[in-house]
Amino acid sequence: MATMIDVAKKAGVSLSTVSYVLNGTRPISEKTKAVVHKAMEELGYNPNALARGLAGKNTRIIAVLCPIEERGIGMGELEVLSGAADAARKRGYHLVLWTYPLQEPEELKNLIRQELVDGVIVMEVHENDPRIDTLLECNEPFCMIGRCSNAPDIGYIDINFKQTVKDAIDHLYQLGHRNIAFINQSKETFDSGYGPSVRTQHFFMEEMQKLDLTPVSEFCHAAPAEAYEITKSLLDKNTELTSLIVMNDRAISGIMQALSERNIIVPDDFSLISIVTSSRTSELFMPQLTSVDYDGQAMGEVAVEQLINELEEKQVKGEKVLLPLQLIKRKSTAICRIKR
Amino acid sequence: MATMIDVAKKAGVSLSTVSYVLNGTRPISEKTKAVVHKAMEELGYNPNALARGLAGKNTRIIAVLCPIEERGIGMGELEVLSGAADAARKRGYHLVLWTYPLQEPEELKNLIRQELVDGVIVMEVHENDPRIDTLLECNEPFCMIGRCSNAPDIGYIDINFKQTVKDAIDHLYQLGHRNIAFINQSKETFDSGYGPSVRTQHFFMEEMQKLDLTPVSEFCHAAPAEAYEITKSLLDKNTELTSLIVMNDRAISGIMQALSERNIIVPDDFSLISIVTSSRTSELFMPQLTSVDYDGQAMGEVAVEQLINELEEKQVKGEKVLLPLQLIKRKSTAICRIKR
DNA sequence: TTGAAAGCGCTAACAT
DNA sequence: ATGTTAGCGCTTTCAA
C-alpha cells in the first residue's frame, strides 16, 4: 500500500507538503497541490487512518452506544443508526458500534480508554443512565439522543413530545372526537424514567385537560395479546370511546384485532392514531395508520452533525435540539360519526 | 491517559515486557506478570487501539458492509448487526459500520485503503455484487452473508433455503393441506438474482412437484396493499386454496386483511406460514404466525466468528455454512378441515 | 526470562 | 511557500 513517503517522492516534494495538501492546514501553491494530487491519484493513495489518528489529535472515528436489546429494538433505532452512519460518512468519519451489555461501567471505560474514538453518540438515554455518568467521568465528548437531567451541559437531540401529543389530539378533536384514550408503553418503562413514555403521558394529560376532555390512559407491554385485552376492557369500561392514540408499535395489531372482533371498523367507526412510529411501521398495517412519524434517520444525522461540530469546534457545546414530528394522515382516522 | 511506558515504570520493568505480558507472545515469569498487571490496574491502563494497530499487523477492527436501504432494511438485518457487534465485542474487536451508497466501487476502495480494518463482513450479497469484485481486487479478507458465484474461495454463511421451504411445505402437508400457494418478494428482486428470492422459488417448485402438488406462486412488492390484491385474486382463481407460504414480511398484513374480508378465519379455515421471518415479526401479528424463523443474530455471530478465525488463522479460509432455520408452530396453521 | 531500540505512517512544531 | 524532524504508543526483532 502506498504511503505518504511514496507520494512525496513521486511528486518531488517533502513529506510534510503532502500532509499539508491533504489537510489544508497551511497554504500551498496551486502548482504543488496539483502535482501532489496527481501523485496520489496515480498511486491510489489513501491516508492510513491509524497513523493519522495516532499522530494527530483526533481519530475521525465516533462510536454509537446502542442498546440493542433493552426494550427490544425497533425500526426507529435502526433508522437512527442508518442516519448516523450516513452523516458520519459524509463528514469523513468512521462509525463504530458499541452495543450492550455495557451495564457495568467498567466495560465502557475500557472502550473509552482505548482512545479509538473522538466522541460518542448515546442512544436511548434514560433518567439515571449509568452510561452518562461514566462518559462524564471520563471526560469523553458525547451527544445524547434523548435527555437526562444529570448532564445539563451536554447537547442532545430529542423529540418534541409536547407538540407530538398535541398534534395527535388536535387532529382527533378536529374530526369531532371527544372521547380519546391513550395507550402508552409499559408501566415498568414509564417508572424507569424513560423519556418518551413519561413525557407523552404528561402531555396527554395536560392537553386533554386544556380541551376539557377526560383523559383515559393505559400502560401496555410490547405485546399484541396484552393490547388486545386492554383494548377490549377499554371499550367495555368506556362505551363512548371513539378514538385511541397509541405509542407502542407492538400493541397495534392487538388493538386492531380487538376492534375488529367487536365489529368496529377503522376508520369509519373508530379512529386510531399511532405516535412516535416509523413510517415503515405505520404503512405495515391495513388500513395504513395515521401517525405522528418518528424520523429516526434525521435524529441520527443531527446527533452526528452536532457531535462532529463540537469536536471540530464549529459549534458551541451543549446545544439542545427538539425535533418536531410530522403528523401524516393515512387511513386510520376519520370524522367521528358514531355516538356509541 | 496512562501509556505503556507509565505501566513499565510503575512496575519497574521494560516497555517490551509490558507488551509481552499484554499479548502473551512470549513466556513471562508469574511474578513479573503479577507486578505488571497490578500496575495496569492501578493506572487504569488500556492499550491504545491506534498505536497497537499501527505497530502490529492487525487493527482488531472489522467492518460490516451494510446496505441500509436497498430493499428497505428489516428486523432481520438489524439482528445481524446486533449479533455481529456482540460477537466482535466478545473477541475484543471493534465493529465499524460501512453503509451504502457504496455503489461506486471507488468509495469502498478508499475505505479499504485506509487500512483501518482487518476484514469485512458483507451483508445481503447478490449475484454480480460489485462490492465482491472490489473486495477481491483489493485482496481484502471478507466473509459473506449470502453467496455469490464469482467468489468461490470465500467463506460465507447463508440460510438453508431448501430445508426451510421443505419444512414449511411438510408442515402444511401433514396438516392435510394440498393446495398451497407461495408469495415471494418482488419480481424485480427475483430478477436481480437475490439469493433468498431465487432459491426459495426454486425449492418451492421442486418440493411441490415431489409431493405431486400443483405449485402456485406469486411475486409481491413489500407493500400490504399489493399483497391484499394478490391474495384476493389468488382466492378467486384458486377456489380450493387452503394455505399460503409467504416470504415477504411487509405483505403479511395485506394477506390477513384479504382473508378477513372474505370471512376466512386463520387458522380455522386457512393456514398461513411465514418463512425467513424474524420471531419479532411473527409475534407482531394476531394470531401469531407459524413461521420458519430467521435468526439474524446467529447469522451475524457466525459471520464474525468465521472472519476473525480466518484472520487469526485459527481456521482454514473459505468455509461455507448453511444455517438451518427452525419452524416454530404458533397460531396461524391448523388441520385442514375445509374443502373450499 | 528480560531489555533496548527500530520502526509503523502520519501530524505539527520548528525551521528556512 | 516549503522542508526537516520529533514524536504519537505501540509490536517485534535483535541482543543479552
Q: What are A278-308's pLDDT values in tens digits? A: 888 898 887 899 999 999 999 999 999 999 9
Q: Where are the alpha helices (DSSP H) in B192-268?
A: 195-210, 224-237, 252-261
Using a CB–CB cutoff of 8 Å, tell me whether B103 touches chain A.
no
Helix and strand totals (H; E) in chain B: 14, 12
pLDDT above 60 for B224:
yes
d(CA A72, CA A53): 35
What's chain A's average pLDDT? 92
pLDDT above 50 for A24:
yes
**The predicted structure's pLDDT at residue B261:** 87
Which comes out higher in pLDDT, residue A194 or A234? A234
List of chain B residues whose C-beta atoms are within 8 Å of the C-beta of residue A82: 68-69, 73, 99
Instruction: Report residue A317's pLDDT band, with 50, 70 and 90 as the boundaries.
Output: confident
Sign of CA dihedral A299, A106, A134, B1: negative
Rounded to 5 degrees, φ, ψ at A70 are -75, -65
For A268, other C-beta atoms within 10 Å of its C-beta total 11
Instruction: Report residue A339's pLDDT band, with 50, 70 and 90 as the boundaries.
Output: low
d(CA B54, CA A49): 9
Question: Cα–Cα–Cα angle for B181, B182, B183, nearest 5°?
Answer: 125
Question: In angstroms, how far is the first alpha carbon of chain B from the final one?
Answer: 75
d(CA B194, CA B154): 18
Residue A83 makes CB contacts below 8 A (sequence gap 6+) with A296, A297, A298, A299, A300, A301, A304
B15: which nucleotide lies closest, measuring CA to C1'?
Answer: C3
pLDDT above 90 for A72:
no
Residues 3-22 of A with CB under 7 A from strand C: 3-5, 15-16, 19-20, 22
Instruction: Map residue B62 onto helix, strand or coil.
Output: strand
Instruction: Report residue A70's pLDDT band, with 50, 70 and 90 as the boundaries.
Output: very low
List of chain B residues whose C-beta atoms are within 8 Å of the C-beta of residue A59: 50
Residues 3-22 of A with CB under 7 A from strand D: 12-17, 20
B253 vs A44, A59, A286: nearest CB: A286
Which comes out higher in pLDDT, residue A246 or A124? A246
Q: Answer whether A323's CB lies under 8 Å from A163's CB.
A: no
In terms of Cα–Cα distance, which of B22, B133, B38, B65 is closest to B304? B65
Instruction: Map residue A173 onto helix, strand or coil.
Output: helix
Instruction: Report residue B69's pLDDT band, with 50, 70 and 90 as the boundaries.
Output: low
**The predicted structure's pLDDT at residue A75:** 67
What's the rounded mean pLDDT across residues B190-208?
95
d(CA B80, CA A191): 31
A positions 51-70 inside 8 Å of B (CB):
51, 53-54, 59, 61, 66, 68-69
Instruction: Report residue B70's pLDDT band, with 50, 70 and 90 as the boundaries.
Output: very low
Q: Which residues, in sequence order, are bridge partners of residue A61?
A: A94
DSSP per-residue letters across B17-55: HHHHHHHT-S---HHHHHHHHHHHHHHT----HHHHHHH
pLDDT tens string A84-98: 999 999 999 999 999
What's the rounded mean pLDDT across residues B7-12?
94
For B340, other C-beta atoms within 10 Å of its C-beta total 13
d(CA B156, CA A325): 41
String of b and e for A57-68 (b: at least 16 CB within 10 Å)? eebbbbbbbbbb
Rounded distance in angstroms from the CA atom of residue A30 to the C1' atom of nucleotide C16: 21
pLDDT above 90 for A100:
no
A212 sits in the region (left: phi over 0; alpha: psi -120 to 50; else beta) called: left
Instruction: Report residue B39's pLDDT band, with 50, 70 and 90 as the boundaries.
Output: very high
What's the rounded mean pLDDT across residues A40-48?
95
Sign of CA dihedral B74, B221, B216, B340: positive
**The predicted structure's pLDDT at residue A340:** 47
**CA-based radius of gyration for chain A:** 25
Burial of residue B127 (number of CB atoms within 10 Å: 0-12, 13-18, 19+): middle
Residue B145 makes CB contacts below 8 A (sequence gap 6+) with B80, B121, B122, B123, B124, B125, B156, B157, B158, B299, B300, B303
Using a CB–CB cutoff of 8 Å, tell me whether B72 touches chain A.
yes
B113: which nucleotide lies closest, measuring CA to C1'?
Answer: C9
String of b and e for B46-77 (b: at least 16 CB within 10 Å)? bbbbbbbbbeeeebbbbbbbbbbebbebbbbb
In terms of Cα–Cα distance, which of A278, A306, A305, A304 is closest to A292? A278
For B28, other C-beta atoms within 10 Å of its C-beta total 16
Pairing of β B326-328 and β B180-183: unpaired
pLDDT above 90 for B268:
yes
What's the rounded mean pLDDT across residues B152-170?
97
Rounded to 5 degrees, φ, ψ at B55 are -75, -40
**CA-based radius of gyration for chain B:** 25
DSSP per-residue letters across B93-109: -EEEEEESP--SHHHHH
Which comes out higher in pLDDT, residue B317 or A220? A220
Q: Answer whether A68's CB lies under 8 Å from A99's CB.
A: yes
Using a CB–CB cutoff of 8 Å, tell me whether A228 touches chain B.
yes
**The predicted structure's pLDDT at residue A206:** 98
pLDDT above 50 for B91:
yes
List of chain A residues whose C-beta atoms are within 8 Å of the C-beta of residue B232: none
One-letter amino acid at B229 equals E
Q: Going from the N-terminus, what domains does chain B have, and what CATH number goes with each?
A: 4-54 (1.10.260.40), 61-159+296-324 (3.40.50.2300), 161-294 (3.40.50.2300)
Instruction: Report residue B308's pLDDT band, with 50, 70 and 90 as the boundaries.
Output: very high
For A106, other C-beta atoms within 10 Å of its C-beta total 11
Do you find a cis peptide bond into A224, omega within 30 degrees of 0? no
SS3 of chain A: helix, strand, coil, percent, to 5 = 45, 15, 40
Would you call A115 and B50 a contact, using CB atoms and an 8 Å cutoff? yes
In terms of Cα–Cα distance, which of A122, A106, A108, A121 is closest to A61? A121
**The predicted structure's pLDDT at residue A71:** 44
Would you call B89 and A99 a contact, using CB atoms and an 8 Å cutoff? yes
d(CA B44, CA A104): 15
**The predicted structure's pLDDT at residue A4:** 95
In terms of Cα–Cα distance, which of A298, A38, A325, A291 is closest to A171? A291
Q: Answer whether B293's CB lies under 8 Å from B282's CB.
A: yes
pLDDT tens string A135-152: 999 999 999 999 999 999
Would you call A224 and B68 a contact, using CB atoms and an 8 Å cutoff? no
Task: Identify the weakest region by mean pLDDT among A32-46, A182-196, B99-113, B122-136.
Answer: B99-113
B254 vs A54, A260, A286: nearest CB: A286
Distance from CA of A45 to the nearest CA of B (A): 7
**The predicted structure's pLDDT at residue A281:** 86
Would you call B44 and A114 a contact, using CB atoms and an 8 Å cutoff? no
d(CA B185, CA B181): 13
What's the rounded mean pLDDT across residues B5-31?
94
One-letter amino acid at A183 equals I
**The predicted structure's pLDDT at residue B314:** 83
DSSP per-residue letters across A10-62: HHTS-HHHHHHHHHT-S---HHHHHHHHHHHHHHT----HHHHHHHSS--SEE
pLDDT tens string B123-132: 989 888 899 9
